[in-house]
Structure 1
Amino acid sequence: MNPPANPGHERMADRELVTSRVIAAPRARVWQAFTDPALLARWWGPAGFSNSFECFEPRAGGSWRFVMHGPDGVDYPNESVFTEVVDQQRIVFDHLSAPRFEMTLTFTDHGDRTALGWRQRFATAEDCRRIAPIAVPANEQNIDRLAALLHATA
């Protein structure tokens, strides 16, 4: 058996958190919920969080700076840069604030619904293991909030 090709001998899968969900809305609406800052601010983040966006430029090289306001009153500054935006297909951004990761979102037609792919890639498997207990349920809550917004605005 050959060792993995990456430094540190980690498998890529050990550095990633991946989920997917079929959302009961057409791809154009799901895409809009990600690219319209007024909509995105309403659902982004785990349950109980709200957002204040400072800058949102969903294009390659564009910035995304915002503060997530936790239900406990703690503010969480976030900064990301978009590396790829393919209309109604894919969004990739580097989350520059701690914890650092690359996020890839994919949007695929699934009849009149949308298959949403959600992948966070961390620098190391250790970073992924450390963040997973928080990020995995938070990601699910995030997608729950997206689905609820799309249902409420149908």
Structure 2
Amino acid sequence: MTSSANPALSQWSLDREIVMSRVIDAPRDLVFEAWSDPKHLPQWFGPKGFKVETFEIDVRVGGVWRFNMIGPDGTVYPNRMRFRRIERPSLMEMDHGVDQDEDPGMFRFTVTFAEQSNGKTVLMMRQLASSAEQRDGMIGFGAVEYGYQTLDKLAAYVGGMKR
């Protein structure tokens, strides 16, 4: 789904936004590589205890990542992420939702990578829902807790990557 199919996603609004940030003890280029390289992304993405099963991954503008996120209890969550904007090594923007066309629950997902002089990276994740009600539902489902668990997994993963 494009922003023209869902006009709410083309205008940012704080009442529809979820923001999470984390300082990661790794250089920006390495953190960006973990997000943008198809061999790394599925290895760490998702909350604690979740596994990723990838069907298709093409990390480029217009490319798609189709995958199942499998919960610790075996529940399967079909996902699709379309890459909208990639500005190496500072920004990635995606539309994220279930693996179906014209997903009404799709949200805009923006990740920024800020390099620090001490060799660390400040990563910020911003999720924009199409309505305040959708945002509240995402929070109720655990988007904030799951988002921070995902960032914890990213930090651990890049800690093990060769620098």
Question: Could you state the TM-score of these two structures normalised by the residue count of structure 2?
Answer: 0.84
CA displacement at 1:153 relative to structure 2: 2.9
Give the equivalent residue in structure 2 for 1:25: 26
The Cα shift of 1:145 comes to 0.4
For 1:92 and 1:59, locate their aligned partners in 2 and report how far apart those are by CA, in whole Å.
11
Residues 22 and 110, structure 1, Cα contact 8 Å, conserved in 2: no
Structure of greater Rg: 1
Q: Secondary structure at the match of 2:40?
A: helix
Aligned to 2:3: none
Counterpart of 1:35, as a letter, is: S
Q: Which runs of 5+ in 1 are unaligned?
A: 1-5
Pairing of 1:136-147 with structure 2 (within 5 A): 136-147=144-155
Per-residue CA deviations over 1:82-135 (Å, capped at 9, x if unaligned) read 110111111001114264210000011112111101000000001001111310
Q: Shift of the alpha carbon at 1:152?
A: 2.6
Deviation at 1:38, TM superposition (A): 2.3
Q: Equivalent residue of 2:89, what SS?
A: coil
Q: Is it true that 1:114 corresponds to 2:121 in the alignment?
A: yes
Q: For structure 1, which segment, 74-83 or 92-101, has the greater mean C-alpha deviation from structure 2 after superposition?
A: 92-101
The percentage of aligned residue pairs carrying the same residue is 38
Secondary structure of the 1:37 match is coil
Q: How does 1:19-58 map to 2 (within 5 A)?
A: 19-58=20-59
Amino acid at match of 2:75: V
Kindly provide the amino acid, as one letter, of the partner of residue 153 in structure 1. Answer: M
- 1:59 and 1:22 map into 2 onto residues whose CA distance is 25
Between the aligned partners of 2:79 and 2:131, the Cα distance in structure 1 is 20
Aligned residue pair count: 146
Please state how far the C-alpha of 1:37 moved relative to its aligned partner. Answer: 2.0
Distance 1:12 1:73 in 2: 35
Where does structure 1 differ by over 6 angstroms across 4 or more consecutive aligned residues? none
CA distance in 2, matches of 1:114, 1:101: 25
How far 1:60 sits from its partner (Å)?
Answer: 1.3
Structure 1: distance between partners of 2:38 and 2:58: 9
State whether structure 2 residue 159 is matched by structure 1 residue 151: yes
Q: What letter is aligned with 1:138? A: Y
* Structure 2: gaps of 5 or more residues: 1-6
TM-score (norm. length: structure 1):
0.88
The letter of the residue matching 2:158 is L
